[in-house]
Amino acid sequence: MRAAFASRFDDADPLAALTVGEQPEPSLPDDDWVTLRVTASSLNHHDLWSLRGVGLRAEQLPMILGCDAVGVDPEGNEVVVYPVVPTPGDPRGMSILSEHFPGTLAERVAVPRSNLLPLPAGLAATDAACLPTAWLTAWRMLTTKGRVDDAEAVLVQGAGGGVATAAVALAVAMGKRVYATSRDAAKRERIAGLGATAVEPGARLPERVDVVIETVGAATFDHSLKSAAPGARIVVSGATAGHEPAVNLRRVFAMQLEILGTSMGTPAELTGLLAFCAERKVRPVVDSVVPFSRVEEAFARLHSGDVFGKVVVDHTS
Ligand SMILES: NC(=O)c1ccc[n+]([C@@H]2O[C@H](COP(=O)([O-])OP(=O)(O)OC[C@H]3O[C@@H](n4cnc5c(N)ncnc54)[C@H](OP(=O)(O)O)[C@@H]3O)[C@@H](O)[C@H]2O)c1
């Protein structure tokens, strides 16, 4: 079957490590796994990390990339894939598709049956394919970790990204006052269109916020600390611009800040997110939809950094 996979690692030029070509049909590691026909997937920064060699070992190559999928199960049902699978031997006890088990950027993918959720009525496959990784991460950052119900104002850093646009759209839909930084004037304009107040990175906000959504890391972390109200939650799920920021600990204890790490979310949280999007008519922010036949272009677009929202891959064209 046709698939997009890491054939080697290249830290400097991850696109050079990407191969699109034939791979063996999925094998089922256990009785409760099934094979899906993938109809839509989306890219995540995770796929670029994998091509750089972060989180994968050479002996795991070739590894089919892709964490997100909507597909058709063996009974013909349209399903959304929860991408976190139990993985004995991994120190986390779990892994995300494409870390140990082949990923979703393929014609077909094997997943445990218990990881399949029904595609809600009214939600297009290409929209739902954005939700299981980036949007789920943003949902958990806001709800379970950030306790956003108790918040009035939220700051989202690096707001052009997949997780960040999700956090902006969700926090606006929850009725919060949302501030978002982006380096790019055109992206700031589009963020404002989502209902947030867009500012340049590092800009002083008109008020301190109760929740900060951090996926950028070193480039923005000091601003996150300075923007936080007493008792605020700074929730971290990524570090695109560096994972070793200087942290002013005086500010952390004097302002009684909580710095919380998180990764992905639970099946119950994905169910909650799907219901929220379907009922509240919230739709993912989609940068572009690229046919699977031109999947290399999707990678190039994500790698350019010039994205606003999710890069989706349509496997039916
Ligand atoms: N832990 C998890 O479960 C989980 C899940 C999903 C993602 N992540 C992580 O979260 C991060 C974002 O993922 P994504 O898929 O949303 O990535 P993405 O779509 O590629 O977005 C990255 C964004 O970061 C901002 N950025 C990058 N370099 C920056 C810099 N030097 N200064 C300021 N901003 C910068 C950019 O925003 P602007 O251009 O608007 O400034 C960019 O749009 C990644 O590190 C990823 O690994 C973690």
The pLDDT of residue 94 is 95
Q: How many CB atoms lie within 10 A of CB 118?
A: 12
Domains assigned to the chain: 2-130+285-314 (3.90.180.10), 134-261 (3.90.180.10)
Q: Is 228 in the pocket of ligand 1 (CB under 6 A)?
A: no
- C-alpha of residue 46 to centroid of ligand 1, in Å: 10
The pLDDT of residue 317 is 85
* Residue 243 identity: H
Q: Is the dihedral of CA 8, 312, 182, 226 positive or negative?
A: negative
Question: What is the phi-psi region of residue 47: left when phi exceeds 0, alpha when psi lies from -120 to 50, beta otherwise?
Answer: alpha
* DSSP symbol at 152: S
The pLDDT of residue 159 is 86
Q: Cα torsion for 265, 271, 276, 279, to the nearest 10°?
A: 170
Render each residue's pLDDT in the chain as its tens digit; 317 residues: 999 999 999 999 999 999 999 999 999 999 999 999 999 999 999 999 999 999 999 999 999 999 999 999 999 999 999 999 999 989 999 999 999 999 999 999 999 999 999 999 999 999 999 999 999 999 999 999 999 999 999 999 998 888 999 999 999 999 999 999 999 999 999 999 999 999 999 999 999 999 999 999 999 999 999 999 999 999 999 999 999 999 999 999 999 999 999 999 999 999 999 999 999 999 999 999 999 999 999 999 999 988 999 999 999 98
The pLDDT of residue 305 is 87
Rg (CA), the chain: 19
Q: Is 245 in the pocket of ligand 1 (CB under 6 A)?
A: no
The pLDDT of residue 161 is 86
- Residue 107 CA to residue 292 CA, distance in Å, equals 9
Residue nearest ligand 1's atom 7 by CA: 134
Q: Is 227 in the pocket of ligand 1 (CB under 6 A)?
A: no
The pLDDT of residue 160 is 85
Q: Is 310 in the pocket of ligand 1 (CB under 6 A)?
A: no
- Cβ atoms of 204 and 176 closer than 8 Å: no
The pLDDT of residue 188 is 96
Q: How many CB atoms lie within 10 A of CB 316?
A: 11
Residue nearest ligand 1's atom 23 by CA: 161
The pLDDT of residue 162 is 87
Please list, in sequence order, all residues whose beta carbon lies within 8 angstroms of the beta carbon of residue 54, skipping any fewer than 6 positions away.
none
Of all helices (H) and strands (E), which one includes residue 111?
strand 108-112
- C-alpha of residue 76 to centroid of ligand 1, in Å: 35
- Residue 36 CA to residue 68 CA, distance in Å, equals 12
- Cβ atoms of 157 and 296 closer than 8 Å: no
Q: Is 134 in the pocket of ligand 1 (CB under 6 A)?
A: yes
The atom number, within ligand 1, closest to the CA of 310 reads: 19
- Residue 265 CA to residue 69 CA, distance in Å, equals 16
Token digits for 52? 């750089």
